[in-house]
Amino acid sequence: MGTSTDVTATSAPATPFPLRALLLLSFGVLVTVTAESLPAGLMPELSADLGVSHAQIGLLISVWALTVIVTSIPLTRAGARFDRRLVIAGALAAFALANLATAFAPGYEFAFATRILAAIAHGAFWAVVMVYAAALLAPAQLGRGLAIVTGGGTAATIIGLPLATLVAQGLGWRATFVGLGVIALLLGVVVVLKMPPHVPSPAPHGERTSVLRDESLPALAAFGVVAVLIATAQFASFTYIRPYLEVSASIEAGWAAGLLFVAGAAGLVGVVAAGAAADRYPRGSLIVVLILLVVSFVTLTVASRSLPTVIVALMVWGFALGAIFPLLQTILIRTSTPRTRNLAGAGIVVLFNLGIAAGPAIGAVVGGEDSPTSITAASAVAIVVATGFALTGFALSRERERRAHAR
């Protein structure tokens, strides 16, 4: 999956692998990502109780993404000098209170406002969680460790959201938000009590130049474009996955949940595979996974009438999506410098949310419910372009390394 030039660190780690700490962070990711997409799973219940349309409930997801886009980088800069453990705990506490407030919302406007508050906390959490996790890891542990943390997002899709939906159906949607709030609050307490502190070291006096002049920025910008294109392609096609299955693939609606579960389970396998490969072959692995995404979207486009082929393509899609996030996070951390690490952590959150916000709209323009295969075709093209930017990012990164060795 790559050559020896991909290897960043192959020596044995000097410190034990911090599994417990990483699992706590992964659980925090699971909780926050579950809450992010919760209105989609609870749309009928929220719509009926708050007395608004399904489209207005959908806005609760859109406003979340837009809030994260606007607030993540300013919040990262504001908290850059504080103990990252306390920043994470504080974000989880604010997130918990916002979700508890949503649970007692008397009307739609109040729920809308509390979703904005929860999204601010979510952005603050995500902007620092990967940087904090990386600080706990030896260089040779980075890919495996970040795969565990990002795996919480995949688990949210196949475990968190379905479980939250079941709770809502049995006890009401408000009970779901209460549960998430209580869990997040307890998790914040555990983070303070059990996680090691980590206060970022100030840059040496001679290093305090503008971030805009940092040599890692061109490569980080290329990988940022990769992130936007991946998120846009993913959410353009996934938003219309039900019309694809029913219209393009002629699959009965009753099969949809099972097929999506299979794709999600394949995503967990992808996370595990990325953890095994990211520390040795991060660059080659990312390119292979991007190619798998292209193959899956092309297959879904041209072979939609073949049920076995569609099932395999969905599994490949899920596997590649599960693998791509830990790989990209690992590459971003390794590409960044101490001066740009916080920016990279916050920037990737902003860029993914740009894709999340843009994807559904682009999907509607390209094909919508009437032509879902047009959307999967467009997603394939977007990933091909993303692959080109990834190769550019690698070239820029190697050039920076060459200049550093020459000095």
Mind listing the pLDDT tens digit for each residue in 126-153? 888 888 888 888 888 877 888 888 888 8
Q: In the numeric block, which tokens belong to residue 154?
A: 């995949």
Higher model confidence: residue 13 or residue 198?
198
- Please state at what angle helix 84-103 crosses helix 108-136, rounded to 10 degrees: 160
Q: Specify the pLDDT at position 198.
A: 80
Q: Among positive and negative, which fits the CA dihedral 138, 33, 288, 222?
A: negative
Largest CA distance in the chain: 66
Sequential DSSP letters for 345-360: HHHHHHHHHHHHHHHH
Cα-Cα-Cα-Cα dihedral sign, residues 333, 337, 338, 340: negative
Contact 50, 109 (CB under 8 A): no
3/110: higher pLDDT: 110
Backbone angles phi, psi at 321, to 5 degrees: -65, -40
What are phi and psi for residue 237, nearest 5 degrees?
-80, -40
Q: How far apart are CA 320 and CA 314, in angstroms?
A: 10
pLDDT in tens, 339-380: 777 777 777 778 888 888 788 888 888 887 788 899 999 999
Decide if pLDDT at 7 tops 50.
no
User: How much is the pLDDT for 232?
Assistant: 92
CB atoms within 10 A of CB 237: 30
Q: Give the pLDDT score at 89.
A: 93
C-alpha distances out from residue 106 to 103, 109, 174, 320, Å: 9, 9, 11, 42
State mean pLDDT over 168-192: 91
pLDDT at residue 223, rounded to an integer:
92
Please give the pLDDT value at position 305.
Answer: 87
Q: Do 1 and 284 contact (CB within 8 A), yes or no?
A: yes
The percent of residues above 90 in pLDDT, for the chain, comes to 33
Q: What is the tens place of the pLDDT at every residue in 212-237?
A: 677 878 888 899 999 999 999 998 88
The angle at the Cα of 281, spanning 280 to 285, to the nearest 5 degrees, equals 140
Q: How many CA atoms lie within 13 A of 280 on its CB side?
A: 9
Distance CA 137, CA 22 (A): 10
pLDDT above 50 for 13: no
Residue 207 in this model has a pLDDT that exceeds 50: no
- 8 pLDDT more than 70: no
Residue matched to tokens 């990769």: 226
Higher pLDDT, 5 or 261: 261
Say which range, 16-25, 198-207, 308-317, has the weakest mean pLDDT: 198-207
Q: Is 209 helix (H, G, I), strand (E, B) or coil?
A: coil
- Provide the pLDDT confidence category of residue 14 given band limits of 50, 70 and 90: low
Among 7-21, 153-167, 382-396, the range with the most confident prediction by mean pLDDT is 382-396
* Exposed / middle / buried, residue 247 (Cβ in 10 Å: 0-12, 13-18, 19+): middle
More confident residue, 160 or 7: 160
Please state, rounded to an integer, the average pLDDT across all residues of the chain. 84
Residue 41 has pLDDT above 50, yes or no: yes
Give residue 229's pLDDT: 95
Q: What is the pLDDT of residues 271-324, one digit of tens each?
A: 888 888 877 888 899 999 999 999 999 999 998 888 899 999 999 999 999 898
Cα-to-chain-centroid distance, residue 62: 16
Q: Which residues contact 139 (CB under 8 A, 6 or more apart)?
A: 8, 9, 13
Question: Does 93 have pLDDT greater than 90?
Answer: yes
Q: Mean pLDDT over residues 75-89, rounded?
A: 82
Residue 4, pLDDT score: 35
How far lies 353's CA from each of 219, 364, 383, in Å? Answer: 20, 18, 17
Whole-model pTM: value is 0.78
Mean pLDDT of all residues in 93-108: 94
Give me 74's structure tokens: 């300013």
**Tell me, what DSSP letter sits at residue 238?**
H
Per DSSP, 368 falls in state: T
Q: What is the DSSP string of 138-195?
A: -GGGHHHHHHHHHHHHHHIIIIIHHHHHHHHHHH-HHHHHHHHHHHHHHHHHHHHHHS
Percentage of the chain beyond pLDDT 70 is 91
Give the Cβ contact number of residue 407 at 10 Å.
Answer: 4
Write down how long the chain is: 407
Confirm if 223 and 275 have CB atoms less than 8 A apart: no
Please tell me the predicted confidence (pLDDT) of residue 201.
Answer: 65
Higher pLDDT, 91 or 65: 91
CB 156 within 8 A of CB 322: no
